[in-house]
A = this chain, B = another copy of it.
């Protein structure tokens, strides 16, 4: 694969989610070689993703040793879009010493008593870390807007505040990647239905998901708007087709690897006087 995920999946300023194919499989082995069988293609994709993860792990080791830069990966997407699955698939093979995975749930009373960036700020990565936000401050311009808890004016102010916040993070040494997991309405229906049908998944079913689903179009508009308003060269949004989990993981691993490769990660130099020491 040539390295072009960042170019291929970067959100445009005129993003329209309805024009984005959630089944897009551009990066798949079958797209490159249509003669491949479905199962063989999937196996190849899994192998390629595993190879990317190995390279990510090697670079994360340098990031941790160098202790000078940090990476923030924001994952957003509707219920069942695969945020948890992405974290599990891509990051459960990487040393946890330099990794911080944070899932933001509904805010607590104490969190609500602060500004909405307060709880997020506490979990930004430190030098040497990759932090993954499973949901994030973007919820504060998504569910809040769709439910009418904030109006358009407040929402605009928040876009600007988020832009400022992320620029500050970038200027102080954080490399930011933002990923929207794009699934289709039909795909969500199937995944929710699975939670009702599959005994192993039933514990995940939450009636609230069905209520939120009724507002699918409102959510799509809110995502579209938030992405357009907060995309920036130092805090880029990527719209990743996510109906296929295998292809989704391949794309996100590519995005992360390309980003790390652009960071000039090196092990720190040894002590200048190594030869003067002996261990007795």
Contact = CB atoms under 8 A, between A and B. Distances in A.
Interface of A: 57, 65, 84, 87-88, 91-97, 99-101, 103, 132, 134, 189, 192-193, 196, 200, 202-207, 210, 213, 267-271, 274, 277, 279-280
A270 B201 CA distance: 8
Nearest to A275: B196
A279 B210 contact: yes
A86 to B, nearest CB: 10
Contact of A277 (B97, B134, B205, B271): B205
Contacts of A204: 65
B96 A274 contact: no
B277 A207 contact: yes
Contacts of A192: 279
A98 to B, nearest CB: 9
B92 A93 contact: yes
Contacts of A269: 203
A54 to B, nearest CB: 12
B99 A101 contact: yes
Given A87-B97, A92-B92, A96-B96, 8 more contacts: A87-B95, A92-B95, A96-B101, A97-B101, A97-B134, A203-B267, A203-B270, A213-B280
A-B interface, 7 closest residue pairs, ranked by CB to CB distance from nearest? A202-B270, A96-B101, A192-B279, A92-B95, A88-B95, A203-B268, A203-B267
A136 B103 CA distance: 25
